[in-house]
Structures are given as structure tokens and as C-alpha cells.
Structure 1
Amino acid sequence: MPEIQLGSHTIRSHGAQVARVHMHDWLILLLLVVIEIILNIIEPFHRFVGEEMMTDLKYPLQDNTIPFWAVPIIAIILPFIVIIIFYFIRHDVYDLHQAILGLLFSVLITGVITDAIKDAVGRPRPDFFWRCFPDGKGVFHPVTRNVHCTGLKSVIKEGHKSFPSGHTSWSFAGLGFLAWYLSGKIRVFDRRGHVSKLCIMFLPLLVAALVGVSRVDDYWHHWQDVFAGGLLGMTVASFCYLQFFPPPYDVDGWAPHSYLNVLADSRNGNQPLSINANALTVRQLEFESVYLRSAPDVNAQDSISILEDMERGRRN
């Protein structure tokens, strides 16, 4: 699909229209935020923790290498900055809106699923002993030998939220979506063999993986928690990206579905075609992977000729 309208759909010209079409999606996002808050308030399931089970739960209680407040910066703010940069390059409000919407859905759906499982499973963290008994003196039920914690209630509550890792799932949800987004924008799968593009795509995933590793190093999570969190976040990110964008290996993988639909409707006469000067300065690279859905035998050079003829007619 030729980018004949590149630069003609900006926030000022089409922003309100695009947001209005997806108003229900933004309302669902608000609902997910409310659910996420509730899941963090309620008390998790307090799983039975016997005295003999404490052997594997006596790792030291220490601070987070990556604090909680840094996770939204890594999973949301960083991808958001990259998305904004591409908007200033392409001036396509469809891409901006769909990317932000997909990113927020990715992290919020992942957050809700993660915290719901945390509360339901109630798995103790590796440092649970020191959360439960900060003075190092264990107190257990005389018959069942279940723990009778003497520590702070808030600290104990967090101690029952080991599975899955929230840091990891959020990181893979946000940075995983960013990896998908970058792979489409820089055409990783254009069959030209540029390995440097793969390195760019894998960089966000490396950062997410290091976040997960830090959770094991800090003794806040078992390795199974991190593995499950990463798998969960990456799976949700993949579904959310493909909801708004074609697969990166698709010839139209550089643009969201909504943008391609607008161009298709314009070509079919369903809405007026908008062409400005910016549309005629599209880089030759953009036409190298072009195809017309309704006319597969028209090549990229034909598309350029059509644009030039239309511009000459407009000037005359």
C-alpha cells in the first residue's frame, strides 16, 4: 500500500476523529486501571507455609535493584518516547494513536492478569522467613506447624505475591510491544539480511530480561516466577500489537491497520483523497515494498508516476 498520505494525518487534523472512534477502548483502559488498583489493595491468599518449608525461604530480605516506581518508566515511558519520535518523523496520527493504545492495553492487561494470579496463588517469596519473622525467631502452630508471622502486615502481604513476577511481566509487556513496533518500522524482515536491525529489535527484550534476572538476584522471586512473568508479558504484548498492526514480516508491516484502511477507502472512492506537498516527498525507500491490494500487478514505479501526474494536474 503506497504511503500517498504520509504527513497529511496529524494530531491537529485527525487526532480528535481518531480518538472518538476508539472512545470505547479508552473507557476499557480506565476500567483496567480500576481493576488493577483493586487487585493491589485486596489481601492475597495466604498459602500454608510449614516449618520444614522455611528451608528454601530464608534468603535475605533486601532492597530492589530496580524499584517499583522504575517499572512504569521502563515499560511505558521508554516505549512512549520511541513512539513519539516516530510520529515526528512520519506525522501519522493513526500510527501514534494505535501504538499508544496497544502499549497501554499490553501493560494493563498484563498487570491485571499478573496481580490476579498473584492474589489467587499466594506463593511465598524466597525471603519470606525474614518478612514473617524479622527478629529471626520462628513461631509455628503447635499441631500443623504453620507459620504465625510476627512482622509488619504490609511486608507479610507482599511476601505472598511471588508468582508470577510483576516486574518481569510488565517489562516484557511494554518492551516486548516496543520490539514488535520497531521490527515493523525498520523492516527487520525485509529479506535484505541486515543483522543490525535484529540487534535493534532484540535490545528492548534484553533490557526486559535483565529486569527479570534482577528479581532473582534480589531474592524477591523464584526463577519460575520470572519465567512465567516473561512468558505472560510477551504473549500479551504480541496479541495487543497484532490487534493494531500487521505482522512485521508483512509488506504493509510499517503501518497500523486503521491507516491502511483509510488509504484503501480513499482509493475506492469511499472518502476524499488527501494529498499535500509532504506526501510527494516520500522517500524512495517507502515505495520499494509497496503493493496495491486491488491491483497487485501495479509496481512501486507506477505508484510514483501516478503521484507525479496527480501533482502536475493539481498545479495546472
Structure 2
Amino acid sequence: MGLRDNLLFMVIGHLVCIGLVALPVLLFYLIGRPYKRGFFCDDESLRHPYHDSTVTSSVLYAYGFTLPIFTIILVETITSRSDVTGILPQFDKPFLTYKVPNLVQSIYHNIWPFLMGAAVQQMVTDIAKYTIGRLRPHFIAVCNPKNLEELCKVPYKYVEVYECESKYSEGHLKEVRLSFPSGHSSFSMFCMLWIVLYLQKRLTCPCVNVQAVKLLLQSGFFYITWYTSMSRISDYKHHWSDVLSGMLIGAAICFAVFYKVAPIANRDLYRMARTSDQDDASENLPLSTTKQPSR
């Protein structure tokens, strides 16, 4: 059996890919410097007060990762004994020399595309944030530009050279330039939409009760991302266009990864790959020899 036929080799490959995509996100966080954009003196959209986040980053990442993974594990466990629709291909790759239950492999094959997509979404969002450097609605309150009255003596002046006299930390001064697009909206939309699409594909039973529960769950997950996104506007963390753009980015990446990568939406592709592996394995089998009768 070759390396590609072993689950360990597959897991390592997935982890390497996710790590490579997540590396730029880490570098942005540690050493990234957003583009220093100027401001118009009469721009009232930058003069809102600073408020703490209603949905903090820790809460965002907690529910963003926990809810999809918990939902996948729960649904796969419940439906594993009654899955007669063939919605997922059967996975039979061993881990080293150990046979891994198909339920565990099904859970894994539903989780790794989600993690990969989340990393891609975060990378795309951060590239835009640091490249554009749009100022947040509370920019003036946080930065408190030095000699602002002197700088803005001329109406409608665009100020490019200024210094911040701020009581806030360097982290706040960095964050105040990362308004576009909204990272909360993008990440929340990606994660919650992933669960919605997963439930739509996985819970295919035509039973009225199942469909009602599915709709209830899907609505609840959408409400979470909607509330998170709207709170970014009411907290003066983002302009409305930042939030809309973030939601669109999260949704676009979610649809692309789910329908082009996730096995649950590409079972024919994975079935073909499995058949190809089996054909390759059969070709590598030694030819049987039969002893010719002596004459």
C-alpha cells in the first residue's frame, strides 16, 4: 500500500496546506503595518465615539469554530446508522496500520475543508485590510490627531501628514486603520453559512419533522451572523459598506470551497478518485501464475 493510500499522509497534506494559507494571517498579525491613509477634515463619518465590541473577537472565534465542528460531529454520529442515501462516499484508508471507523473518517472529511476555507477567508480579508487601510468610524476619537484645528483651518482639506496624540495603545492605533472589510462579518458569514449548506446537503430526509428542524437550525445560524454583522455598525467599528463587503467575501469563499472541495457536495468526484485508487492498486498486484501440467 502506497503513502497516498494512508490516512496519515492525507492528514499531513491537509495540515500543511492549511498552515501555508494561515501563515500570512499570522505574519499580518505579528508584523503587519496597514497602509497609512489620510482623512478629510469635514468627514463626519470618522468622528463617532469609541465603543467596546458587542461581539468580541474571542466570542466570534469561539462560536465560529465550535458550532460548525460540533454540528458536524453530532449530525454525522446521529445519521451514521441510518445513512441509506449515499450522500458521502465510503472512506476506507487506514491510519498507519490501524483501520479507522468510517464515521471518524466522514467527520474528518467534513471538518478539514471547513478549516481550509476559514483560513482562506481570513487571508483574503486581511490582505484587503492591510492594503487599503480604511479608517474606522471612531478614528478621530482614538487617534486624536495633533493640532487638528490647525490642520483643518482650510475647509474640505485632505490631511495626509499628521500625528496621533492618543491615550490608546499601539494595538488600537493599528486596528483603527483596518476598517475595510469587516473581519467579524466575513468570518461569521463563512462559518454560519457553512453549517447552513452542510445541513441542507446532509439532512435530506423528506420527513416533515426533519425538514422543520433543519429550517429552524439554519435560521438560527443565519441570525447569529446577521446580529454579529449589524453590531459592528452600531458599535461604530465599521462603515456599513465594510460590513456588506465582509459578508459578501465570507459567502463567496464559503460557496466556492463547499461546492468545489467538500466531499459532501462532490461525492461523484471523490467516488471517481476512490475508484482510480482501487484500479491503481489492482494494477500493482502480482500476476498469478499457474503451474502447467507436465506432458
TM-score, normalization: structure 2? 0.73
Select the residue among 199, 208, 211 that pairs with 2:225.
Answer: 208
Where does residue 42 of structure 2 map in the other structure? 52
Distance 1:202 1:39 in 2: 34
**Structure 1 residues 141, 227: CA separation in 2 closer, same or farther (over 3 Å shift)?**
same
Distance 2:274 2:280 in 1: 10
Where does residue 96 of structure 1 map in the other structure? 107
Moved more, 26-35 or 104-113: 26-35
**Alignment deviations for residues 8-27 of structure 1 (CA, whole Å, 9 cap, x no partner):** xxxxxxxx933422532220
**Number of matched residues?**
247
Q: CA deviation at 1:261?
A: 5.0
Select the residue among 29, 49, 62 that pairs with 1:40.
Answer: 29
**Alignment deviations for residues 273-315 of structure 1 (CA, whole Å, 9 cap, x no partner):** xxxxxxxxxxxxxxxxxxxxxxxxxxxxxxxxxxxxxxxxxxx
Distance 1:69 1:112 in 2: 18
Distance 1:174 1:145 in 2: 39
**Alignment deviations for residues 154-189 of structure 1 (CA, whole Å, 9 cap, x no partner):** 22211110000001111111111111111111128x
TM-score, normalization: structure 1? 0.68
Q: CA deviation at 1:215?
A: 0.5
Equivalent pair of 2:52/2:235 in contact (CA under 8 Å): yes
Distance 1:112 1:106 in 2: 10
- The percent of aligned pairs where both chains have the same amino acid is 21
* Map 1:119-138 → 2, pairs under 5 A: 119-133=130-144
* Map 1:1-316 → 2, pairs under 5 A: 17-41=6-30, 42-53=32-43, 55-89=44-78, 90=80, 92-133=103-144, 140=151, 145-146=159-160, 147-151=162-166, 152=168, 153-187=170-204, 194-242=211-259, 243-247=261-265, 258=270, 260-261=271-272
AA in 2 matched with 1:245: P
Q: CA deviation at 1:194?
A: 4.0
Equivalent pair of 2:41/2:152 in contact (CA under 8 Å): no
AA in 1 matched with 2:143: C
Distance 2:215 2:268 in 1: 21
Moved more, 179-188 or 207-216: 179-188
Q: CA deviation at 1:37?
A: 0.9
Q: CA deviation at 1:117?
A: 0.1
Instruction: List 4+ stretches of structure 1 deviating above 6 A.
Output: 134-137, 265-271
**Alignment deviations for residues 36-67 of structure 1 (CA, whole Å, 9 cap, x no partner):** 111123110011113222x2111110100011
Gaps of 5+ in 1: 1-15, 248-252, 272-316
Q: CA deviation at 1:228?
A: 0.7
Equivalent pair of 1:87/1:95 in contact (CA under 8 Å): yes
AA in 2 matched with 1:96: I
Distance 2:207 2:74 in 1: 25
Distance 1:235 1:221 in 2: 20
- Tell me how large the CA RMSD over aligned residues is: 3.2
Equivalent pair of 1:19/1:97 in contact (CA under 8 Å): no
Moved more, 90-99 or 176-185: 90-99
Gaps of 5+ in 2: 81-101, 283-295
**Structure 1 residues 268, 145: CA separation in 2 closer, same or farther (over 3 Å shift)?**
closer
Q: CA deviation at 1:262?
A: 7.8
Q: Secondary structure at the match of 2:151?
A: coil
Equivalent pair of 1:139/1:149 in contact (CA under 8 Å): no
**Structure 1 residues 185, 167: CA separation in 2 closer, same or farther (over 3 Å shift)?**
same
Q: CA deviation at 1:94?
A: 3.2
